Structure formats: C-alpha cells, structure tokens
C-alpha cells in the first residue's frame, strides 16, 4: 500500500523525479504528475488504466501561472477566475505548445484550474511545473474523497498519498469553455450553473460525449461503482427488485434498510455532494446486487449530483 502523509517535500521530490503522487483538492483526490513531462503523464494513464483520448486537467497555483501555459485568457475568463479561483472551476483555454499533446488528447485546448486546498496550493507554488491530475481512481470508477479511498484502489501502484483530509466539495470541478464568446459548460460540478451565469450571463451545457470528448470527464459511462445502479422512484423500484439484494441511495428519505445511504437527511445539496462518492463506494462493500437510487432536486449542485448518478447508471436520458 502507498504511504500516506503530509510531507510536501517528499511529494515534491517524487514529482520532480517523474513519479505520480495522489494529491488532495477541495473536490476529489487527484493522481498528479508533471504536466510537462510526457513520461510522467504516461504513468498517469497507465496507473488509472485511462484511455488516452480522455484529456487531463492541469493544476496551477494561480492565474499568473495559467498565463504560462495558455495563449489567451479572455476578459470573461478573467471575471470567472476573479470570482471563483481558487475553487472548483476548470477553464478550457487555448494551450501553448509547452503542454504536451498527450495531456490534451491532441486537442488545441487545455483544462486549467487552481484548486482550493492549502496543502496542494503550497505544493504547486514550490514546483517549477504544473500538475496534470485526473481523479485518483481506476478509470471509470467512483472518484476518491479520502486518502483511504485512493489507497484501496491504487495503493499498490503509487508511492505516496498527500493527506489533506476528506474533500470539502466531494464532486469534481465544473468545466467551462468559450466558443464565439459564448460560455459552454462541458462538465457540471462543484460550481453551479447559477453561480457561473451570475458572472457570464446565460450558458450552454454540453456535458457528455460517448467518445473523443472535448474536455475531461465527459464520457457518458463514468463514476460507476461495482454494483449496477438503477435510478427511479425508490418505492416503485422496490416492487421490482428484492429488498435483501438491493442497496438504497436516497436524498432525504429513510427506508430503515440495513443497506441504505441517505445523502442528506436535512435536504442540503452541498452535504449530498460531499457524501455521493463515499456512498457509492460503501455499497460496493455490502452484500447486494443492485443500488436503487433517486435523483435529488435538479437545481444548484443537484444538477452535478444527478449528472454523476446518470453516468454511474449509464442511462440514456441526459
């Protein structure tokens, strides 16, 4: 298993040697490597068993660093960074050639973000390169929100997990790009559409792709646990699936089941987002065959939660 600790200097040394390290962010834990080192980036894909047509997000300590790796930062992007960086916002920008094509899957744009986690921002500020860092889990599986989640899945493949405690947001960053000055959300996440539109005005949503995605995290079947996820009305679903073989994932409702996870008894969408991936992982350790889930209210962070549920179930309706 990987060593877990808070030694930034050790993490820095490993990264400078071209190794990969798990790092904390406010959203989920990332599997990080030197974004300018093709060998290190290749290790990320190998450790995750991630297809190379799925691009990676590049993490920087601040907007000034983002200028080093992108060709242009439009005024609308600057307004977003002023408001939401550091934070759960990834911006899709035209890349400079210094960013390897492997990072962007051959696209001329790169996803850039400044994470809102003190430990990782300190690490980034001490490095001479940015970090490519998708979620620190096997490709397609539930994203990790604690060091233990990372160790359970990748502990035999990496040397070190930088321990930043449980992730505060618990769901990946929102990805925003611009086409003809129109803001487009490519992945819903920890920053709500309402928050973005308060800065940019109306946005378009283009949040999934079955192949050759234009941004990270767009694949339709993703964030999936080892059990089959079925979404609908829990009461109706319980008529179709045997109770002893099913886990129940609810927003607020308590069905008094031994195999149940209530995302937020108080109906708080932020709490529900924090708990989502932990809940999906918990079901994998239960003696069940199915996870019966219900959507949360489709507002604010609820849109991102519902997006992840759809992908976990790989349903057709987006």
CA distances from 199 to 14, 25, 49 (A): 39, 24, 37
Is 311 annotated for ligand binding? no
Is 79 annotated for ligand binding? no
Q: Please give the span between the terminal C-alpha atoms of the chain, in angstroms, as a whole number.
A: 38
Sheet of 174-179, strands arranged across = 3-5, 160-162, 21-23, 30-34, 131-132, 57-59, 109-113, 89-94, 174-179, 182-187, 204-205
Is 135 annotated for ligand binding? yes
What residues does each domain of the chain span? 3-71+94-170, 228-313
pTM of the prediction? Answer: 0.89
Is 173 annotated for ligand binding? yes
pLDDT band, residue 318 (cuts 50/70/90): very low
The tens digit of pLDDT for each residue in 289-313 reads 999 999 999 999 999 999 999 989 9
Is 50 annotated for ligand binding? yes
Is 39 annotated for ligand binding? no
Is 59 annotated for ligand binding? yes
Q: In this model, does residue 315 exceed pLDDT 80?
A: no
pLDDT band, residue 207 (cuts 50/70/90): low
Is 145 annotated for ligand binding? no
Comparing 55-64, 78-87, 216-225, 259-268, the range with the smallest average pLDDT is 216-225
Q: Residues, the chain, total? A: 318
Assigned CATH topology for domain 3-71+94-170: DHBP synthase (3.90.870)
Judge: domain 228-313, CATH 3.40.50.11030: yes
Is 143 annotated for ligand binding? yes
Interatomic CA distance for residues 276 and 292, integer angstroms: 14
The tens digit of pLDDT for each residue in 155-166 reads 999 999 999 999
Cα dihedral 191→194→198→202 (10° resolution): 110
Is 192 annotated for ligand binding? no
């Amino acid at each position: 298993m990987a060593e877990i600790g808070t030694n930034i200097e050790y993490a820095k040394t490993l990264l400078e040697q071209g190794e990969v390290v798990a790092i904390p962010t406010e959203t989920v834990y990332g599997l990080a490597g030197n974004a300018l080192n093709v060998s290190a980036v290749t290790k990320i894909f190998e450790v995750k068993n991630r297809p190379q047509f799925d691009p990676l997000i590049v993490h920087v300590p601040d907007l000034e660093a983002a200028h080093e790796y992108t060709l242009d930062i439009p005024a609308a992007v600057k307004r977003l960074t002023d408001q939401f960086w550091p934070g759960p916002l990834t911006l899709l920008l035209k890349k400079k050639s210094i960013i390897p094509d492997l990072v962007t899957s051959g696209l001329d744009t790169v996803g850039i973000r400044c994470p809102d986690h003190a430990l990782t921002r300190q690490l980034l500020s001490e490095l001479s390169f940015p970090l490519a860092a998708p979620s620190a889990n096997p490709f397609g599986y539930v994203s990790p929100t604690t060091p233990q989640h990372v160790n359970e899945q990748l502990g035999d493949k990496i040397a070190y997990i930088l321990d930043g405690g449980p992730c505060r947001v618990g769901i990946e960053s929102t990805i925003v790009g611009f086409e003809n000055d129109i803001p487009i959300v490519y992945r819903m996440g920890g920053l709500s559409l309402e928050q973005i539109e308060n800065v940019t005005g109306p946005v378009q949503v283009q949040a999934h792709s079955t192949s050759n995605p234009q941004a990270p995290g767009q694949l339709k079947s993703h964030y999936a646990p080892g059990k089959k996820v079925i979404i609908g009305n829990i009461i109706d679903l319980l008529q179709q699936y045997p109770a002893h073989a099913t886990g129940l994932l609810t927003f607020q409702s308590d069905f008094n089941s031994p195999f149940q996870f209530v995302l937020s008894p108080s109906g708080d969408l932020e709490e529900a987002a924090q708990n989502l991936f932990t809940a999906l992982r918990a079901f994998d350790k239960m003696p069940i065959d199915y996870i019966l889930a219900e959507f949360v209210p489709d507002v604010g962070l609820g849109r991102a939660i519902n997006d992840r549920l759809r992908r976990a179930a790989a349903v057709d309706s987006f």
